[in-house]
Amino acid sequence: MNRTEAKRHEQRVESNREELLERMARALPEDGWIEALEGLFLARVAKPIEAPLALFQPAFCFVAQGGKQVLVGEEVLRYDPGHYLLFTVDLPVIFRVDEASKEKPYFGLRLDLEPALVASVMLEAGADTRKGDATVKAIGVNPVDADLLDAVVRLVRLVDKPGEQRILAPHIKREIVYRLLAGGQGARLGHLVASSRGDTRRISRAIGRVREHYNEPLKIEEIARELGMSVSGFHHHFKSVTSMSPLQFQKQIRLQEARRLMLGEELDAASAGHRVGYEDPAYFSRDYKKLFGAPPLRDIAKLRSSLEL
């Protein structure tokens, strides 16, 4: 790329960033979030805050202004306007906006990823969807390139053009998936493809089972046997995909569901802990504080206070 091309490229990127921020600010003049298009969510936050509820569904996440952290297991990932987050299996993750102010609010978006759409794009692009790769983590942060940013901006433009959404939105969503694929995310996107075989497919089944029966005792040997895997092999591949052991995965689902029950249904800590599978309230409180940084009552009071502001 010569100097003229490089300058044109920089101008294009800067122009797209400015337009994206302007359009998101127009769509969200005050703090909050909206589903701007089907499967496309926009958010605005004027102060650092932790999302009160967890997100599981596979998604492409993008920051237009500010910064955000995602906690998955014991790993902390951060992304900003120069980086995007992609995760492709149902994961118990916690989001924290860590860079936001009244003068420069956080603006972010999330595009839910439909397995059928991802599979279709991968097939048309000639990517191998027959084999999954259980050595690739299902979540990661990567740099944003100009073509991906351009597609994101064109999708957000449709928020103001309801007459064009039905025709153009599906094509732009396909392009975003293609840009992710072209940007080296094929192995990660492969986790989403329902027709994949091998260890990735089996781990996806295990994730579904643990999520569905999160409040029951975790029977590792039984799950591994049903999947046709050794216990050690199951542990290894499960952690490779989710960044967590099966027990850690179940524990996070339990704790996040308990948090939802206390915040949304106003259950007390002991009742919420028992509902999600904890027999010992003290053990529940200890695990809760380790994940969320405060005992249940204090954490819920803080969340309610921040939501009321």
Q: What separation, in Å, do the N-terminal and C-terminal C-alpha atoms of the chain show?
A: 49
In this prediction, residue 55 has a pLDDT band, given cuts at 50, 70 and 90, of low
Q: Residue 95 pairs with which residues in a beta bridge?
A: 70
Angle between helices 231-242 and 220-227 (to 10 degrees): 90
Q: Quote the pLDDT of residue 134.
A: 62
Q: Is the pLDDT of residue 258 over 60?
A: yes
71-89 tens-digit pLDDT: 988 889 999 999 999 998 8
Domains of the chain: 3-192 (2.60.120.280), 198-246 (1.10.10.60), 248-308 (1.10.10.60)
* Confidence band for 217, pLDDT divided at 50, 70 and 90: very high
pLDDT range class, residue 136, cuts 50, 70, 90: confident
What confidence tens digit (pLDDT) does each residue in 85-128 have? Answer: 999 888 888 899 999 999 999 999 999 999 889 988 998 888 86
The predicted structure's pLDDT at residue 133: 58
Query: Per-residue pLDDT averaged across 3-29, rounded?
Result: 91
Which 3-state string (H, E, C) describes the chain? CCHHHHHHHHHHHHHHHHHHHHHHHHHCCCCEEEEEECCEEEEEECCCEECCCCECCCEEEEEEECEEEEEECCEEEEECCCEEEEECCCCCEEEEEEECCCCCCEEEEEEECCHHHHHHHHHHCCCCCCECCCCCCCEEEEECCHHHHHHHHHHHHHHHCHHHHHHHHHHHHHHHHHHHHHHHHHHHHHHHCCCCEHHHHHHHHHHHHHHHCCCCCCCHHHHHHHHCCCHHHHHHHHHHHHCCCHHHHHHHHHHHHHHHHHHHCCCCHHHHHHHCCCCCHHHHHHHHHHHHCCCHHHHHHHHHHHHHC
Tell me the pTM. 0.84
